[in-house]
Amino acid sequence: MARARFLAVLIGALAVAVVLSITIGAKAVPLADAWQALTAPTGTENDIIIRSLRIPRTVIGVLAGIALGVAGALMQGHTRNPLADPGLLGVTQGAAFAMVASIIFLGTTSLYAYIWFGLAGALIASVGVFALGMVGGRGGPTPVTLALAGTAVSAFLYALTSAVVLLDEQAMDVFRFWQAGSIAARGSEVIWQVLPFILVGLVLAMMNAPGLNALALGEDVARGLGQNVNRTRAVGVAAVTLLTGATVAACGSLAFIGLIVPHLARSLSGTDHRWLLPFSGLIGAVLLLLADVIGRVVAPPGELEVGVVLALIGAPFFIALVRRRKPVRL
């Protein structure tokens, strides 16, 4: 019952965050005007702001927050590492390199084309990490080999990206904007492009939850309970890839959500991934929307990108987490 109450509170918090995201910005829109823009628009300036700018921004924020929160919980569960985040599979750097390469070698200029190249790069990078994690092992990749392979691939792709952007000014500008992380200036077309991948990723994540609970007892115990460990790992990697790849391709590098959120969710839901994953998704969405709202109001008339605000919030949390005397039990 306590979990159900916490879940209801998180749903209410998400509703409040959505209202704040729609009404607060460089131009504040009264709640009554926002409601009118949604239900009976008349073409006023507030209608245009709400329908063309705030609604798409809020929706992509909710999707990105849910995706990164769930992906972070999956990643920490599979690696049994409380400091793991979705970028550990090389997804973030794979997306970055693919987008930069598409600009230089194919002349890509459209935001929507960047997303497809970014998603493809994320998928290729994660498959490469998974394949490297299986090299020389018996029975498939382990949490340690996945972490090591992901670190190596991420470092390699980051070096390639840094070298490539020096060759092209446009690529440098896109990479700098993408690296900061933002949910602004994303139209409804972006939402429809990433939505199928995020939905499939969420379905795979929930399918992965029972197997992940068994893996938490140890691989030998999981096999004794009838779990196919390799298949469970493959489904988890696929879910993390889809969720993180779609998000970073559309919004850039949104650091710390996948690291912070699972710890907050675990304190409310416990270690059962059937509850932990939904809690992580809701907290991730709330955190991302609130960080975006803070970024809009702290530096008027401009705004801070949400990735910058998340880094300012997440860095102290990360330091505190590292300095804890007792390790977090996953």
DSSP 41-69: --S-HHHHIIIIIIHHHHHHHHHHHHHHH
Among 123, 83, 120, 87, which residue's Cα sits nearest to residue 255? 87
Contact 118, 100 (CB under 8 A): no
C-alpha distances out from residue 39 to 33, 42, 47, 163, 222, Å: 10, 10, 10, 50, 51
b/e string for 201-231 if b means 16 or more Cβ within 10 A? bbebbeebbebbbbbbeebeebeeeebebee
Q: Domains plus CATH for the chain? A: 2-323 (1.10.3470.10)
For residue 277, pLDDT beyond 60 = yes
Handedness of CA 96, 99, 102, 105 (dihedral sign): negative
User: Using omega within 30 degrees of 0 as the cis cutoff, is the peptide bond preceding 278 cis?
Assistant: no
pLDDT (tens digit per residue) in 13-67: 999 999 999 999 888 899 999 999 999 888 899 999 999 999 999 999 999 999 9
Structure tokens at 109: 């200029």
Q: Is 74 exposed, middle or buried (0-12, 13-18, 19+ CB in 10 A)?
A: buried
What amino acid occupies position 38?
L
Residue 233 pLDDT more than 50?
yes
Rounded average pLDDT over 74-95: 85
Instruction: Check pLDDT > 60 for residue 69.
Output: yes
Mean pLDDT over 289-299 rounds to 92
Q: Is the pLDDT of residue 134 over 90?
A: no
For range 281-296, the mean pLDDT: 96
Assign residue 226 a region: left if phi > 0, alpha if psi is -120 to 50, beta otherwise?
Answer: left
Q: Which two tokens stand for residue 287?
A: 């955190």
Find out whether the peptide bond into 301 is cis, omega within 30 degrees of 0: yes
Model pLDDT for residues 161-191, shown as the tens digit of each residue: 888 888 777 778 777 877 888 898 788 888 9
Model pTM score:
0.91
Predicted confidence band of residue 143 (pLDDT cuts 50, 70, 90): confident
